[in-house]
């Protein structure tokens, strides 16, 4: 079942996982992809971009952050 929306609590989870140096980049990417896939309107392009081998942890954070903010109505530039 898909989530109605992603919220601030999801952003907190994302940043907690991002800051945990014991979580490998692949696990962080998988977590972010799972959030996107379970969103009301998943974005396949973002999922493909995250799956690229050279996409850094910082870039993944930026992409997932923008995805969540856009979904909450806090538009991104």
HSE-up (13 A, CA, CB side) for residue 59: 11
pLDDT tier, 1 (very low <50, low <70, confident <90, very high otherwise) = very low
The answer to the question of residue 31 being in a domain is yes
The answer to the question of residue 30 being in a domain is yes
The answer to the question of residue 36 being in a domain is yes
The answer to the question of residue 32 being in a domain is yes
The answer to the question of residue 46 being in a domain is yes
Task: List pLDDT tens digits, range 25-73.
Answer: 999 999 999 999 988 888 999 999 999 999 999 999 999 998 888 876 6
Task: Give the pTM.
Answer: 0.85
Indicate the number of domains in the chain.
1
The answer to the question of residue 18 being in a domain is yes
Give the C-alpha distances (Å, rounded to integers) separating 38 from 20, 35, 58: 23, 5, 22
The answer to the question of residue 77 being in a domain is no
The answer to the question of residue 3 being in a domain is no
Domain that holds residue 45: 8-71
């Amino acid at each position: 079942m898909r989530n109605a929306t992603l919220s601030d609590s999801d952003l907190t989870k994302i940043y907690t996982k991002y800051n945990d140096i014991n979580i490998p980049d692949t696990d962080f990417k998988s977590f972010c992809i799972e959030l996107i896939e379970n969103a009301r309107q998943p974005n396949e392009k973002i999922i493909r971009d995250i799956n690229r081998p050279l996409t850094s942890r910082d870039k993944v954070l930026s992409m997932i952050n923008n995805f969540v903010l856009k979904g909450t109505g806090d538009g991104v530039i």
